[in-house]
Amino acid sequence: MIRTILLLLGLITLSSCARQPQHVLEAERVMDRHINEVTKGGKLFVFGTGGTMMDDVEMLALNFFSQTPVDLNGARLLIVESVEKCLTEVNSDPKIYPYLHEYPFTAENLDYLISFKDQNYKSLNPPFIAFVFLTEGKLYYDVNDPEADKYVPYHEESYEEALAIVRGERAE
């Protein structure tokens, strides 16, 4: 019985020391570079990363928070600028290219979240946006409902619509 337990503990220890696949290492390197770029101005702070990377880099997930109160237009501008930087970094990196599930990597391949907090790390109340999230090429903006203590939907749009607005174009 003791031998079995020691054997299992040894196997668990050895398996936890396994080296990560190269595509995961490349994805982490690119995400780290992106994080360093978007957080250096002090507007964004990272609180999580991840992705879908079983056999290749299918999706990247980045989660940030900001203590800068913004309205819908400010949230749109911040997330579009950040996502565009991320996409440029991924698509221009020759080391990650062979591991990308799809090239070019697009907003469809990102889950990107920015949560807006006050100085006490509580969600901002209207008229400010509390949360913006990009998933599957769509942006969702939520506001905080302080009475219900939850986020409620405020606005949604495709990433392409948001990009066109930020670029000053009219989406059709």
Residues with Cβ within 8 Å of residue 105, at least 6 apart in sequence: 57, 60, 87, 90, 91
**For the whole model, what pTM was predicted?**
0.84
In a domain, 2, yes or no: no
pLDDT band at 1 (very low <50, low <70, confident <90, very high): low
Stronger pLDDT, 26 or 35, i.e. the higher one: 35
Beta strands in 18-170 (DSSP E): 45-52, 59-66, 110-116, 131-135, 138-145, 150-158
In a domain, 5, yes or no: no
In a domain, 53, yes or no: yes
pLDDT band at 4 (very low <50, low <70, confident <90, very high): low
pLDDT at 8: 47
pLDDT at 152: 96
Number of domains the chain contains = 1
pLDDT of 9 above 80:
no
Domain containing residue 100: 24-166
Between CA 47 and CA 59 the distance in angstroms is 18
> On the CB side of 148, how many CA atoms lie within 13 Å of its CA?
6
Model pLDDT for residues 54-103, shown as the tens digit of each residue: 888 889 999 999 999 999 999 999 999 999 999 999 999 999 999 999 99
Model pLDDT for residues 98-155, shown as the tens digit of each residue: 999 999 999 999 999 999 999 998 899 999 999 999 999 999 999 999 998 899 999 9
pLDDT at 17: 52
The first and second tokens of residue 18, run together, are: 């396994």
pLDDT of 7 above 50:
no
